[in-house]
Structure 1
Amino acid sequence: MTIKLVLCTTPDEKTAQLIASTLVKDKLAACVNIIKGIESVYEWQGKVETDVECQLLIKTNTQHVLQAFDRVSELHPYDVPEWLELNAEASSAYGQWLQNTLQR
């Protein structure tokens, strides 16, 4: 079963927790993993920046991914939050759990 796996970084654990708990509570994601302490190197406004961030792994489906993006955009402090949508193949049991969890 195909699911959406979204990568999104946050500046700190507090923001990561807020976004993760909101997405799960609002049934826009079945699960969000928070990976603390990643180092990101990127260009922003003509300068190379290095920051320690949290990486979110957001598990959702195609029906909810756009609503999840809108909600993250409301909560996220960055001007341009990372939002990388990947199609992932889930086991039948995990995919069914995800779909059942996201039903309202």
Structure 2
Amino acid sequence: MAITYELVKTVTAQLYDRSLRGIPEDTKAALQRADAAESNETARHTLRIMLRSADAAQRSSQFICSDAGVPVFFVRVGTQAQFSGNVRQAIADGFD
């Protein structure tokens, strides 16, 4: 069975949304360690803002940042995968 344009578009949209609303626990832990180790007060303040933003986004289901930047996806495709439709366009349309 071929992987459809609609499936690629839907999954892309879901992954993008998920990436904007939370950070992985290991990333959060790394930010906390950086905050604890940082001696520069301005840098510590910035790290704390990042942590508070991540917590607020998780609690309210809002985006972590209003400027999401440019998404980059690395897609691995097996040699037996079959697609129906334009995969690149489906990924691009998943951001609309």
TM-score over 0.5 for the pair: no
TMscore range, shorter length = under 0.3
Task: Determine which structure has greater relative contact order: mean sequence separation of CA pairs < 8 Å that are 6+ residues apart, divided by chain length.
Answer: 2
Q: Looking at secondary structure, tell me which structure has more helix per residue.
A: 2
Question: In terms of Rg, which structure is larger?
Answer: 2
